[in-house]
A = this chain, B = another copy of it.
Amino acid sequence: MANIAKKVSWSSRAEESGVAGERTPLFNGSEQPRLSRQLSGGGSVFQIGRLSTVDLEEEITSDEDSQRGRPKEIPHNEKLLSLKYESLDYDNIENQLFLEEERRMSYMGFRCLEISRWVVCGLIGFLTGLIACFIDIAVEELAGIKYQVVKQNIEKFTEVGGLSISLILWAVLNSSIVMLGAIIVAFFEPIAAGSGIPQIKCYLNGVKIPRVVRLKTLVVKVCGVICSVVGGLAVGKEGPMIHSGAVVAAGVSQGRSTSLKRDFKIFEYFRRDTEKRDFVSAGAAAGVSAAFGAPVGGVLFALEEGASFWNQMLTWRIFFASMISTFTLNFFLSIYHKNPGDLSNPGLINFGRFESDVRNSHCVFFQLYVVCGLLGALFNLLNYWLTIFRIRYVHRPCLQVMEAMLVAAVTATVSFTMIYFSNDCQPLGPEHTEEYPLQLFCADGEYNSMATAFFNTPERSVRSLFHNQPGTYNPLTLGLFTLTYFFLACWTYGLAVSAGVFIPSLLIGAAWGRLFGILLASITSSGSIWADPGKYALIGAAAQLGGIVRMTLSLTVIMVEATGNVTYGLPIMLVLMTAKIVGDYFVEGLYDIHIKLQSVPFLHLEAPATSHWLTAREVMGSPVTCLNRIEKVGTIVDILSNTSTNHNGFPVVVQPAKLCGLILRSQLIVLLKHKVFVELARSRLTQRKLQLKDFRDAYPRFPPIQSIHVSQDERECMMDLTEFMNATPYTVPQETSLPRVFKLFRALGLRHLVVVDDENRVVGLVTRKDLARYHLGKHGLEELQVAQT
């Protein structure tokens, strides 16, 4: 277990709640599930806390046993909830300082703020578009060089024999490029691995994933993705754009870079979680928009993942950022393609326009759905096992680099073998769209069709599958390609390289769909209707992607926008929904799997359906560590220093325990740092009034309590929290049902929710992990174990 803890790359410092006692961690850091299995079918609420202690003990014991017996075993790792993640606070901290500032601000001030929000969103879109453009051009150029070198080499050796040298050249080239990408990711910034979409999902959900929006991450991400794509891995460059956009947004909106130690003294108002998260939504949307040329899809992605509370102005800004992003990319790419002003290539991947409309006779598509859902589920399942294996055995950076190199070499070898043994020759027509046609053993004027699929960037392959004339591929080629690429892509996702899973999924689905289309045409032989296998490729691609990532609405819109033909909306939507339903029956979506494997306390949109019989009383953490409104400095320091609890939010009370506010660890830290003490006995310190600016300057990297020195004299001083605490925290009574608590918490994006009794006394505190613990398993409501690590 400690093993896993070390591996899990999204590490963090602090636990969320302000709850002391009761939560004594067991030796393995997990906590007993308060909700015993016997109760999952229903039953009286009031027995839960106390019931079946014996059962619980037994369970724990057997758990410990299994831990001792098989120390390497990971028992239901996805059924843990880590306490190490902090939450973002989407609720404004409305303390007196904040209110005073807001009240001082004139209407014009608010207008200016609004305008700067638009400016920031425009900047985010522009920069994201530029980055996408940079990645695209870099990949095009480098891949071009690589393919030219390999092609010449192959052509040279095809005649004289000794193609194994070509194979070695290809494999070594790929491996070394991928090694570069893997090294920067594994050694410098492990968080930049993968597509980054799970991390951004978590961030937008309100979980603070450390280092996820830093400049260094962006740099590593961009270089990493170029290396992976050029290195010929079965990956796409689209997924990472979403992460890149988010980092750009987090950087631009703060008007400074903590990494570069530059503060431009602008946008200081936006230095808090609420505003930052809004901008990160916009950045993610701009990323989607740049990747797929799908601005509306980007907005919907941001909303699906991020927005709990729909805000019209925010949505417009997100849309604006998306538009600017796709426009920027399009504009610069049109210059690069020497066709300035041609705005018909709005994204990194462009499916090409499907001119013909869908006819309802194509509802035969339906047959594809189930199969693709199954294939998606299989992909996820294989990748899940692989990820568990990696967590357990491949957790040292050098091992990770070696695995990446191995995958690169294997990919090259498999591709080469497939091309070598394929005898699918196609005539090289005047209208051929292949960039690097490989002749190999084909007759003059022909090219190897298998090479079209393998010896190409995946984006081009997808487009060929969608748009090439019927008859370009023969079924055997497609079948073999699907099979090999499926396993390669599955192996690749989760490597320590920056790479997306969108394009490989599309490619597998497109190949499989086209195959299906060809077979169907040959069976029915009613050529006119089934003539276009490209449509089947499109639907297959949608189904495969949907089966893997399980986004429905935003993915539909993304596909429709990338296709440029609205009439494909309904079939694509039906395909995606079926793929989701079929897939969900077996295993979760790929991103959700990876989120669960990291034990992130991810809050879904609604409380589990059958959770009405739980109330705040059962859910909350208690007793709560409260502070007095005028509290001794020593007490505060002691509470903050208590590493066994490590709380982040503290209700402030006046005796007897009446709630009068809520204060955060970060605020207390700033107060201690500036020594805002009431009665300094023999102090040299001038007591200056603290401004909001002091809190904003410290945001978001507040120093740890250990770095703040408080002398013995100062410990005796008092601290008046009145001005700094949020005087009106949201509260719920103890009898509130879990769905109601959940709704309030999720809709307002809270971090702490105080539970009070009917005399307004604090009795508990609900935080993210208290709600994220409950989920619907196969046997009704289940409770996840909570782990310290």
A residues apposed to B, CB below 8 Å? 41-42, 92, 94, 99, 102-107, 110, 293-296, 299-300, 303-304, 307-313, 315-316, 319-320, 323, 326-327, 331, 341-344, 346, 357-361, 552-553, 556-557, 560-561, 564-567, 569-570, 573, 577, 605-606, 609-610, 612-613, 658-660, 727-728, 730-733, 735-737, 740, 743-744, 747-748, 756, 758-760, 776, 780
Contacts and interface: CB of A to CB of B under 8 A. Distances in A.
Most buried by B among A296, A556, A727: A296
Contacts of A740: 92, 94, 728
Contact of A612 (B99, B310, B319, B361): B99
A730 B747 contact: no
Contacts of A747: 309, 747-748
B299 A553 contact: yes
A332 to B, nearest CB: 11
Contact of A303 (B296, B310, B357, B731): B310
Given A99-B737, A296-B300, A344-B567, 13 more contacts: A99-B612, A106-B610, A107-B780, A307-B310, A309-B747, A316-B577, A319-B553, A341-B361, A564-B567, A658-B759, A730-B732, A747-B747, A760-B760
Contacts of A309: 308-310, 743, 747
A780 B105 CA distance: 12
A164 to B, nearest CB: 47
A319 B564 contact: no
A539 B596 CA distance: 47
Contacts of A310: 303, 307-310, 605
A343 B570 CA distance: 10
A730 to B, nearest CB: 7
12 contacts: A42-B104, A99-B612, A103-B613, A105-B610, A303-B303, A309-B309, A309-B310, A312-B605, A323-B569, A346-B567, A728-B732, A731-B731
A659 B565 CA distance: 57
A316 B552 contact: yes
Contacts of A341: 359-361
A40 to B, nearest CB: 9
Nearest to A614: B103
Contact of A566 (B319, B320, B561, B659): B561
Contacts of A570: 295, 323, 326-327, 343
Contacts of A613: 99, 102-103
Contacts of A605: 310-313
Contacts of A307: 310
A731 B732 CA distance: 8
Nearest to A105: B610
Contacts of A295: 569-570
A360 B346 contact: no
B565 A103 contact: no
A783 to B, nearest CB: 15
Contacts of A553: 299, 312, 315-316, 319
A553 B569 CA distance: 19
Number of copies of chain A assembled together:
2
Q: 3 tightest CB-CB pairs across the interface, nearest first?
A: A110-B609, A102-B612, A344-B357
Contacts of A346: 566-567
A556 B319 contact: yes
A331 B780 CA distance: 42
Contact of A743 (B102, B294, B567, B748): B748
Contacts of A744: 730, 748
Given A311-B606, A566-B293, A343 B359 contact: yes
A736 B658 CA distance: 17
Nearest to A327: B570
Given A310-B303, A743-B748, A776 B610 contact: no
Contact of A342 (B343, B359, B759): B359
Contacts of A732: 728, 730
Contacts of A610: 105-107, 110
A567 B341 CA distance: 12
Contact of A737 (B104, B316, B728, B733): B728
Nearest to A564: B566
Contacts of A573: 319-320, 323
A360 B331 contact: yes
Contact of A42 (B103, B110, B780): B103
A326 B744 CA distance: 35
A736 B743 contact: no
A316 B92 CA distance: 30
Given A326-B570, A737-B94, A759-B759, A342 B316 contact: no
Contacts of A320: 573, 577
Contacts of A567: 343-344, 346, 564
Given A605-B311, A747-B748, A758 B569 contact: no
A41 B609 CA distance: 48
A294 B560 CA distance: 12
A282 to B, nearest CB: 13
A586 to B, nearest CB: 17
Nearest to A118: B577
Contacts of A659: 758
B564 A296 contact: no
A731 B658 CA distance: 16
Contacts of A561: 566
A312 B555 CA distance: 13
Given A323-B569, A727-B735, A747-B748, A609 B361 contact: no
Nearest to A309: B747
